[in-house]
Structure 1
């Protein structure tokens, strides 16, 4: 889809990792389609994950009692957020599709990616109260989680030791992405690449590349609790 813009938020320390391969093939495939692809390589950027008062470039609205949410909201309205946050927000604002590429850490995202979500998707930019879920400020944009796991697929079933994988997706897909207004595409899950054979790993990468060929034709998942829990 020539003219489309994609942001890949990538969280892995090693460029030659399996996550790195998935990121690389996504850049190649989407670029071949004529998309403009931007990558935020969080570890390479040394992205600051901590949400602190340093995120506000101007004076605090209440210097006597620091409330991060209140101060960032006011700074966002006054265009006084620090440059690293603003740069990432501009990438999100420009994107038609945001892909998050990361390994599953403790049933969630790596700390550096959680910090990106905490700092970048702030009130005033990604949502307001009211102004969330279907009214979130990022409505009209699409988002997709591309995740690698340590465990094999059978462990992430209702009968498996880790439970149905969809349970794990509720906080990220619904509580974060849908809350901000994103239309959420079905996740891309690559199970246990570290213990897979070389042929199996190549198959996972090829499957991701093949899916990306028709990614713009996909319908978002229904962002309702039955998709996750029934």
Structure 2
């Protein structure tokens, strides 16, 4: 099994970085091959632009998704993108470690998604959700935030975390390109708890990682339930 981790935190000694290391070590202990894209350490550029393409299908007007398709088909994507796309396509499991910022992922991870999840090979037209280009691969996330667990859910002030606040990531990104999506590991109130509490969280993450295949999967739309215009039948 090949696991690729995409890590988004600027501090190498952070709790989120410790989560990355716990996940990597658990998978290695289980015999997996693990690769890591540490986006801040790499200096990954999150800003998409015309410079992402060494040659263009249309040189005078940029339609980014169409140029992604052309760049993939012709091998003219920038080297940074080619390297990351190769990691994604080689992986059986994609994992993401990040803090929640402003109801979302860090900007550097959002930019990675926009530049690396290519129109064409990964999604397009009706090739989405259970027909997406990454169907057959699995994904998960380990997230940390300052909020308390009671702030989330149907009675919480922020609403549901996974299918509300972060739906854009789990359904609208991972599920959209065909990945099976495991329920995430969430570490709550991290900056405000004791070292003992954080150590217990990491022990829980070890158990989560070892039992990943038995974690519940999130539900994404069934394209067969929709017609050619993607209206429900």
Q: In the alignment, does 2:111 pair up with 1:115?
A: yes
- Out of 85, 91, 99, which is 1:89 matched to? 85
Which residue does the alignment assign to 2:141?
145
Which residue does the alignment assign to 2:44?
47
Q: In the alignment, does 2:181 pair up with 1:190?
A: no
Partner Cα distance (1:17, 1:149) in 2: 12
Extract structure 1 runs of 4+ deviating beyond 4 A. Answer: none
Q: Which runs of 5+ in 1 are unaligned?
A: 226-230
Partner Cα distance (2:189, 2:62) in 1: 43
With over 3 angstroms needed to count, the CA separation of the structure-2 counterparts of 1:160 and 1:221, relative to structure 1, is closer
Partner Cα distance (1:124, 1:69) in 2: 8
Question: What's the offset of the Cα at 1:133?
Answer: 1.0
Q: In the alignment, does 2:35 pair up with 1:5?
A: no
Which residue does the alignment assign to 1:158?
154
Instruction: Give the number of equivalent residue pairs.
Output: 221
TM-score (norm 1): 0.92
- Out of 8, 11, 14, which is 1:14 matched to? 11
Partner Cα distance (1:44, 1:125) in 2: 27
Partner Cα distance (2:53, 2:197) in 1: 47
Q: In the alignment, does 2:25 pair up with 1:28?
A: yes
- Out of 195, 199, 224, which is 2:196 matched to? 199
Question: What's the offset of the Cα at 1:168?
Answer: 1.5
TM-score (norm 2): 0.91
Partner Cα distance (2:80, 2:73) in 1: 16
Q: Which runs of 5+ in 2 are unaligned?
A: 223-233
Question: What's the offset of the Cα at 1:224?
Answer: 4.6
With over 3 angstroms needed to count, the CA separation of the structure-2 counterparts of 1:80 and 1:104, relative to structure 1, is same
Secondary structure class of the residue paired with 2:70: helix
